[in-house]
Copies of this chain bind each other. A is one copy, B any other.
Amino acid sequence: MSTSSDVDLDEVYSFALDLAKQAGKMLDDAWRARCDGGPQTGHVEKESAVDLVTQTDEDVEAFIKQEIASKFPIHKFIGEETYSKGSSKEYLIGKEPTWCIDPLDGTVNYIHIFPMFCVSIGFILDGEPAIGVIHAPFLNQTFSACRGKGAWLNGTQRLPLIRNPIPPMPQDAPKGCVFSCEWGKDRRDQPDGNLHRKVESFFNMAAEIGGRQGKGGMVHGVRSLGSATLDLAYCAMGAFDIWWEGGCWEWDVAAGICLLKEAGGLVTTANPPTDPSTARIEDTKLGGRLYLAIRPAGDTEQETGRQGQERTVREVWRRVRHLDYPRPGA
């Protein structure tokens, strides 16, 4: 087994950046060919009518896997499409250097050619995301981060964008925050099922202060992009203050978590603990499928940025419901 001491992170980072751009060009070429009357992207349903895979997903993943195998033959590889075809959905990331890839995040957007789709390339060292590259070719936006080197937009603008100084969390967060959330793929209309719990949570976050039996959060705005990866990228940028979601897999978030942490953000679990006001706020587990992300935040005279983030986490937890997304084998 290869170990972290064998890894030259600079070399891997530079390779990952190049790889993301090549993969992004494949996505770009494929949708442009469709515009010009070329073959329309066929897609097949995976687990439901809104869980889709296209031939492009599979082609891009095969390309990425092949490039990595040529350059770093001893590294482990986990990609959305190859993984989904396996029989189990166990968490397979251990201590060894591992690539964790989503060749196309935002598949529904891609099929409809809504620009919010991207390639997501994460590299995991000792179980933690150490490199993340997210490339959105239609938007011409590349988000990237490497452990200890900060997070960047297009290699030139350090994230978060506003950083001299970085704004603290609003005093009365979630009021004043942009709240990002996704309707997701579980659309079953079951009393107290995930969809009901999500809608109740979104509603609480949006409603006026004092509304919803005291749970109204009066957020500045509610946004849904259809890409967990880009939700995390925009949190790292500082554009989204809060992202709350359940049901993602590690390839959806590996690169984004690296990006957010390098920018100074926080990621913990979406599900409120028994006592949201005092529970210890632990870093999310990469394969936990439940995520609550808070943007980078500056200090004030009253509290540190981290304290402001934790205060925001507790205020979100007070307003959201538990979600039920099991981790098979966990």
Contacts and interface: CB of A to CB of B under 8 A. Distances in A.
Interface stretch (A2-10, A87-95, A206-214): A206-214
Contact of A183 (B34, B40, B222): B222
Q: Is the interface of A mostly helix, strand, loop or mixed?
A: loop
Contacts of A34: 162
Interface stretch (A68-76, A111-119, A250-258, A321-329): A111-119
Contacts of A212: 189
B218 A161 contact: no
Contact of A234 (B114, B164, B175, B237): B114
A241 interface: yes
A218 B184 CA distance: 11
Interface in A135-183: 139-140, 157, 161-165, 167, 175-176, 178, 183
A238 B220 CA distance: 28
A216 B113 CA distance: 24
Contacts of A163: 35, 37
A203 B211 contact: no
Interface residues of A, number: 57
B157 A221 contact: no
A54 interface: no
A108 interface: yes
A330 interface: no
Interface stretch (A97-105, A223-231, A274-282): A223-231
B238 A178 contact: no
A220 B187 CA distance: 10
A114 B153 CA distance: 13
A188 interface: yes
A206 B178 contact: no
A291 interface: no
A22 interface: no
A317 B224 CA distance: 22
10 contacts: A37-B163, A49-B220, A108-B178, A109-B221, A112-B221, A114-B237, A187-B216, A188-B207, A189-B210, A195-B206
Given A37-B164, A223-B225, 14 more contacts: A35-B157, A35-B161, A35-B162, A49-B218, A50-B220, A108-B220, A109-B239, A112-B220, A113-B162, A113-B237, A113-B238, A187-B207, A222-B224, A223-B224
